[in-house]
Amino acid sequence: MHRQDDIDGRHTVTARAASWLRVDWGPQEPAEPGPGVAAGVALAAPLLVGLATGHPEAGTPLLLPALLVVLPLPRDAGLGERARQLAARVAAVTLAGVYAYLVGGRVWALVPAITVAAVLGARAPRVGSVAPLAMVLIGIGGPNEAFGVPGLAQLAGGLWGAALVLPRWRRHPSRGPAAPQPPSDRTHAVRLGVTVAAAAALMAAVHHLTGNGHWLVTGTVLALKPTPDGTRAKTRQRVVGNTLGGVVGTLLVLLRPGQLTVALLIGVVGALAYAFRPANYLYWCLAFPMLLLLMDAYREPVPWYTAVVRVALVLAGGLLAVLATRWPRPRATSPPGD
């Protein structure tokens, strides 16, 4: 009898785990190939120009700012709103570049900046998660004076990406007036700030914020949503997508492709990631780890275990976000989207 109870208990745990990781693989909206191609060009072109001129490292400072600025924009946003959102993103990545220079790679100085950026992003939908992502991803690189002026590389990369994605590359059928932006949730902003501060402080305390440890911070930023349902759904997508995408990315990196091949792969994978992001966030989670691994591999060889460490930290960040939704009083339902 006890043996059967043990078997039933193990089956229950397995079923719960499988249910927790269950995700919807089907497309929920049409893909957008036009913006995807524009994003792919924004990422690959600086690298290809650098290779063609005999300076392969010249284009790398533009890569991360462009990556953050060309994140998908709302489908129904008009040209003016697109310009305002892109301008806010360019300002965020430029400010992150200037701050990284001012603090000179001091890890603890990044913790309050990442926290403030997360709170401001939660309260300002136009910049959103780009603000904290820029602060942590650009900040961990330390001072960057690629063009001799602090923040200039980030400004140039951001403007380059913004110029390519500002036009609407695909016409959509008229859907009436654009839906108004939901009001920002002050409780969510506070919750996000406290949780991100804890994640950033933890990474700084163990001196790994400047390594793969920053994935705990980004995992928390991207998983924590205003509702428990939204947070759990986003965490499932990120864990499943990052795991599978990380495996594929690692296999690509282990082939030790040359810089030209890596630059072309960055363009192709970037185009796919941005084109299919509107269709299903899971597709983005599959492609984005590959994109970041390839970006790292362009600069220097990447250890095989990098993807494993990153997936583990994404899971830890997601679990931290799920726990954070229990404070102080979560709502029961979740709005669609990010």
**Geometric angle at alpha carbon 166, from 163 and 172, rounded to 5°:** 150
Is pLDDT above 60 for 199? Answer: yes
- Is the predicted pLDDT of residue 33 greater than 60, yes or no? yes
Q: At what angle do helices 214-223 and 186-205 cross, to 10 degrees?
A: 170
First to last CA, the chain: 47
- Stretch 11-37: mean pLDDT, rounded? 75
Q: Using an 8 Å Cβ cutoff, are 238 and 288 in contact?
A: no
CA-to-CA separations, 78 to 71, 84, 113, 179, in angstroms, rounded: 16, 10, 32, 12
Mean pLDDT of 131-140: 93
Split at pLDDT 50, 70, 90, the class of 206 is: confident
- Domain ranges within the chain, ordered by starting residue: 30-169+184-324
Do 294 and 252 contact (CB within 8 A), yes or no? yes
C-alpha closest to that of 254 among 294, 309, 284 = 294
Q: How much is the pLDDT for 211? A: 67
When pLDDT is averaged across residues 115-128 and rounded to a whole number, the result is 95
Length of the chain: 338
At residue 185, the pLDDT reads 74
> What does the DSSP assignment read for 20-76?
HT----S-SS---HHHHHHHHHHHHHHHHHHHHTT-TTTTHHHHHHHHHHTSPPPTT
DSSP string, 139-169: HTT----TTSSTTHHHHHHHHHHHHHHSS--
Task: Say which residue the tokens 């409780």 belong to.
Answer: 187
pLDDT at 333: 46
- What number is the average pLDDT over the span 55-65? 91
Q: Fill in the DSSP letter of residue 50.
A: H
* DSSP secondary structure, 117-133, as one string: HHHHHHH-TTTTTHHHH
**CA separation, residue 135 to residues 157, 178, 251, 287 (Å):** 15, 30, 29, 22
Quickly state the pLDDT bin for 3 (edges 50, 70, 90). Answer: low
Average pLDDT over residues 10-20: 54
Percent of the chain with pLDDT over 90: 63
CA 296, distance to chain mean position in Å, is 15
pLDDT digits (tens, 9 = 90+) for 221-280: 999 999 999 999 999 999 999 999 999 999 999 899 999 999 999 999 999 999 999 999
What is d(CA 44, CA 123) in angstroms, rounded to the nearest whole number?
Answer: 33
So what's the pLDDT on residue 166?
93
pLDDT tens track for 73-112: 888 889 999 999 999 999 999 999 999 999 987 889 999 9
Q: What is the mean pLDDT of the chain?
A: 86
CA-CA distance, 78 to 89, in Å (whole number)?
17
Quote the pLDDT of residue 45.
96
The distance of Cα 46 from the centroid of its chain, to the nearest Å, equals 20
Categorize the per-residue pLDDT at 141 as very low, low, confident or very high, splitting at 50, 70 and 90.
Answer: confident
The average pLDDT across 207-215 equals: 73
Phi first, then psi: give them for residue 66, nearest 5 degrees: -65, -40
Query: Tell me, what's the pLDDT at 176?
Result: 46
Mean pLDDT of 204-229: 85
> What integer pLDDT is reported at residue 307 of this predicted model?
86
Compare 77 and 5 and report the one with higher pLDDT: 77
pLDDT digit string (tens) for 292-331?
999 999 988 888 888 888 889 999 999 999 999 987 654 4
Instruction: Judge if the upstream peptide bond of residue 150 is cis by omega within 30 degrees of 0.
Output: no
Residues 6 or more apart from 227 whose CB is under 8 A from it? 325, 330, 331, 332, 333, 334, 335
Rounded CA separation 258/262 (Å) = 6
